[in-house]
Amino acid sequence: MNPKINKALEIIKIIEEAGGSAHVVGGAVRDTFLKRQTKDIDLATSFKPDQVMKLFNKVIPLGIEHGTVLVRYKSESYEITTYRTEEGYEDYRHPDQVQFVRSINEDLARRDFTINAMALNSRQKVIDPYKGMEDLNHQVLRAVGHPEERFKEDPLRMMRALRFASELQFTLEQNTYSAIQKQAHLLKQISVERIAVEFEKLCTGRDYNRVLPLCFTIGISNNIPIFQDEPQLIKILPQSRLTSFAEIVAFYCEKGSIYKEDDWIKKWKQSNKVKRESIMLLKAVRRFRENDRELNWILYNLSGSLIVKFSNVMNALNYKVNQQSLEKTYEQLPIQSRKKLAFQANDLLLVFHDQRKGAWIGRSIKRIERAVVLGEIPNEYQAIKEWVKTWKPPEIV
């Protein structure tokens, strides 16, 4: 049993000793039986937030109006929410009304899928009113109750269904599948940022090569950015998993998307960090395609933090590179940043003291960097100085 789960069971016993009831709920229960690591462990309780807050020293009121507090217990964080039912989803995300209830079974009725609608009590007994364990054993993803109602409450659940299908290698139960087909258009009501999180996780899943084409078949791709304009892209399968949105952008741009990296970032509302990474990755891929003999220079310009992502994109494009080999090559470069260069701008100005300062300095330093990284000259002050002195003025203007 996960040590964090054991601590959660201790929390439950504290609540029980105070006269309440509580359960571990959601993905933590599912992942425990799938023997998967789980980061977040959520609890549901019969107690109201103020009752929970009296029992623990460190409590943060995350969303008291919805019955949720964050409890810090033995250096771990746990979200604890009062058993509740929900009604009305005017914004297709948040319930218009929340009603606290006393029964864990009523609480589980509002969950998305049967495999997420199980609970674990302090004696480690599973409460499973929707046969989630059976679906877990048969590797089936089934919506709780009426699928169309679940997806209308929060259309993002359709993306989550496909994400789980990819991550867990599960198949969609027929009624769940049909409901997604019928209601895929509701995704237009959901913020792009939320969809992007699920799409990224889908691409990272072990069964991405089956589920990505399913996005087209089931109608999801017609209702998400870029792919709604280029539906054929969703059928282009990476040869290996992509693990970040920057990798996804670089892959599809290299595969012929009519949209540039900037367009992908804007339409998917990604961060500037993702933008920078996707541009750098795509530039590296195209440099490699044009001249793979300059791999050292390509890796140098990427920097160590992007080597893994570059490797992922390259393998997705079927270049079959070895990540460890790339990392080793990077580590063995003569320099890994301009700061390590033995010859800097001031040294350059001493050699060409008659030249006025200008853009030629940056261009010249880059030329030196490139020569050092590619092993054309050693990273030694005197060697670089002698080489630079052979340059003719027109080359530095």
Task: Please check if 154 is assigned to a binding site.
Answer: yes
Question: CA 169, CA 8: separation in Å to the nearest integer?
Answer: 28
Q: How many CB atoms lie under 10 A from the CB of residue 245?
A: 23
Q: How many CB atoms lie under 10 A from the CB of residue 93?
A: 14
Query: Using an 8 Å Cβ cutoff, are 167 and 198 in contact?
Result: no
Query: Using an 8 Å Cβ cutoff, are 118 and 133 in contact?
Result: yes
Which token pair is 121? 């009590």
Question: CA 323, CA 329: separation in Å to the nearest integer?
Answer: 10
Task: Please check if 206 is assigned to a binding site.
Answer: no
In order, the DSSP letters of 351-366 are HTTTSPPSHHHHHHHH
Question: CA 159, CA 186: separation in Å to the nearest integer?
Answer: 11
Task: Please check if 304 is assigned to a binding site.
Answer: no
Burial class, 360, CB count within 10 angstroms (exposed 0-12 / middle 13-18 / buried 19+): middle
Q: Taking the C-alpha atoms of 332, 294, 320 and 322 in order, what is their torsion angle to the nearest 10 degrees? A: 0
Q: Coil, strand or helix: which one is 141?
A: strand
Q: How many CB atoms lie under 10 A from the CB of residue 388?
A: 19
Task: Please check if 50 is assigned to a binding site.
Answer: no
CA nearest neighbour of 114 among 124, 127, 101: 127
Task: Please check if 42 is assigned to a binding site.
Answer: yes
Question: CA 357, CA 354: separation in Å to the nearest integer?
Answer: 9
CA nearest neighbour of 27 among 104, 93, 120: 120
Residue with tokens 């990392």: 327
Which token pair is 211? 């589920």
Task: Please check if 40 is assigned to a binding site.
Answer: yes
Strand boundaries in the chain, DSSP class E: 22-25, 42-45, 58-63, 68-73, 76-82, 84-87, 97-100, 119-120, 126-127, 140-141, 171-172
Task: Please check if 27 is assigned to a binding site.
Answer: yes
Residues belonging to the binding site for ATP are 27, 30, 111, 154, 157, 160, 163
Residues belonging to the binding site are 27, 30, 40, 42, 111, 154, 157, 160, 163
Residues belonging to the binding site for Mg(2+) are 40, 42
Residues belonging to the binding site for CTP are 27, 30, 111, 154, 157, 160, 163
